[in-house]
Amino acid sequence: MPKISIVSPVYKTEKYINKMLETIRTQTFTDFEVIFVDDGSTDNCPQILDDFAKEDNKFKVIHQKNSGASAARNNGLEHCSGEYVYIIDSDDYLEKNALELLWENAQKTSADIIYGDYYIEESNRSILKKVFDREFYTDNSNDIDIIQSAVNIGGSGINLSSKSFERINEFGGAPWRAMIRRSIISDNMIRYDESLKGLGEDILFIQNVYEHVSSVSYIQKPIYHYRMLNDSLSHGYKKDLLKGFDLVYDKEELFLKQNNKGNNHWITYYYRIIKYINLSLKYYFQNKGNTSSDTERFNEFKRTMRSYPYKTAIKSVPLKLISSKNNKISVLLLKMHMYRLFWMLKKRKNK
């Protein structure tokens, strides 16, 4: 049995995949397997993967009809056998010692889930993101509950603290953020919700993982490079975005209620809704692809903000939770029902 299983869904990333493959090939730690799941790619990815897999039997390729990233990840999870599993994206890439750092920490701490730092790769610069303010290991249930609640914040700094850390700088549910003990996933049949189709399924997956996590570790060293791509799934006009968000809210609230989650979890969920308000402006209300008039779009925005769960989220999120001054101002405008000013500020930003 390999120490680590890497699972990587692949779909039309021909432009970037060779970088990812090379960083896997040259890892300083070698006791691992890789399960590539070709999700019906129509470019040269299937052939690239097949050729790569011929080099070593630790590389395995599964071809499936196009079913989405969640289905591809689930397929990969069915076929991996490592003590730990690390799920990565095929358009990103690893630090050359990523697996070594993760495994050394696993041996030292036996943690169920192990986090590392990462770089955001933009077109002309790399930005190092430190997830927490300091390294730690914890098996304290209160610490773990706070970390689980923070999965909802989706990348932004937030003023949550515990005995193990004073600040969470960058967080969220993206699977490449951490290596997870595989038995937690397999023994509890945890899988990605394929109905969410790219909207929050990674957050729900990690939240379910945390229901069975007894220890968490964080190494303050970079392990991953995340490409900020303009052609990624999250860009462009999304006509059905609000309907998609409604499904996410239903799934999230069901999780919170079924697992009797406390106030921290509901507050961070509401904070996530605030972030989705910003996304809705960029990719729906103020997007150039929306052919409705500006008045019609603004009126729809106001109606949406006055409906559940947006109204509840705006009212419930405490300003002291938000670390960014600009984000505080935005939420304050919503709390004061100053929708027009909020609209104008976001329109200027989204130009």
pLDDT in tens, 178-213: 999 999 999 999 999 999 988 889 999 999 999 999
Confidence at residue 62, expressed as pLDDT on a 0 to 100 scale: 98
pLDDT at position 155: 61
> Residues 180, 115: contact at Cβ < 8 Å?
no
Helix (H, G, I), strand (E, B) or coil at 6: strand
Degrees (nearest 5) of the Cα angle 14, 16, 22? 110
State yes or no: pLDDT of 35 exceeds 80: yes
Task: Give me the residue label for tokens 């790769």.
Answer: 121
Give SS3 for 125.
coil
Tell me if the pTM is above 0.85. Answer: yes
Nearest partner of 239 among 164, 291, 307, judged by Cα: 291
Average pLDDT, the chain: 93
| Strand-pair partners of 38 | 10, 63
Strand partners, 35: 7, 60
Q: Where are the domains of the chain?
A: 4-227, 241-349
What is residue 232's predicted lDDT score, i.e. its pLDDT? 47
- 156 or 82, higher pLDDT: 82
- Which has more pLDDT, 167 or 68? 68
What is the predicted pLDDT for the residue at 321? Answer: 82
Is residue 154 predicted with pLDDT exceeding 80?
Answer: no
Residue 233 has pLDDT above 50, yes or no: no
DSSP state of 57: T
Q: Do residues 94 and 23 lie in contact, with contact meaning Cβ atoms separated by under 8 Å?
A: yes
How far apart CA 11 and CA 211 sit, in angstroms, is: 30
- Average pLDDT of the segment spanning 249-272: 96
Token digits of residue 173: 């549910």
Alpha-carbon gap, residue 53 to 35, rounded angstroms: 10
Q: Is the pLDDT of residue 231 over 70?
A: no
Q: 39-88: per-residue pLDDT in tens?
A: 999 999 999 999 999 988 999 999 999 999 999 999 999 999 999 999 99
Residue 230 has a pLDDT of 64
Separation of alpha carbons 351 and 121, rounded Å: 22
pLDDT of residue 87: 98
Q: For residue 236, what pLDDT is reported? A: 79
Question: Which residues does 40 contact at the CB level (< 8 Å), separation at least 6?
Answer: 11, 63, 64, 65, 66, 67
- The pLDDT-based confidence of 323 (bands split at 50, 70, 90) is confident
Q: 235 pLDDT band (50/70/90 cuts)? A: low
Measured torsion, CA atoms of residues 294, 299, 300, 303, in degrees rounded to the nearest 10: 160
Lowest mean pLDDT among 158-172, 263-277, 316-330: 158-172
* Integer Cα distance of 5 and 62 in angstroms: 14
Q: What is the mean pLDDT of residues 103-121?
A: 97
Answer for the pair 37, 65: CB distance below 8 angstroms, yes or no: no
Residue range 129-153: average pLDDT? Answer: 94
For position 324, what pLDDT does the model report? 81
The three-class DSSP label of residue 227 is strand
- Give the mean pLDDT of 218-229: 94
Torsion of CA 105, 106, 111, 113, to 10 degrees: 90
Domain 4-227 coded CATH 1.10.3720.10: no
Residue 309 makes CB contacts below 8 A (sequence gap 6+) with: 249, 253, 270, 273
DSSP for 68-87, written as a single string: -HHHHHHHHHHH---SEEEE
Predicted pLDDT of residue 273 = 95
Whole-angstrom CA distances from 52 to 33, 81, 162, 227, 330 are 13, 20, 44, 22, 48
Q: Return left, alpha or beta for 298; rule: phi > 0 is left, psi -120 to 50 is alpha, else beta.
A: alpha
- Band of pLDDT at residue 160, cut at 50, 70 and 90: confident
Confidence of residue 327 (pLDDT cuts 50, 70, 90): confident
Where residue 108 falls among pLDDT bands split at 50, 70, 90?
very high
C-alpha span between 52 and 13 (Å, rounded): 15
Burial label, 73 (beta-carbon count in 10 A; 0-12, 13-18, 19+): buried
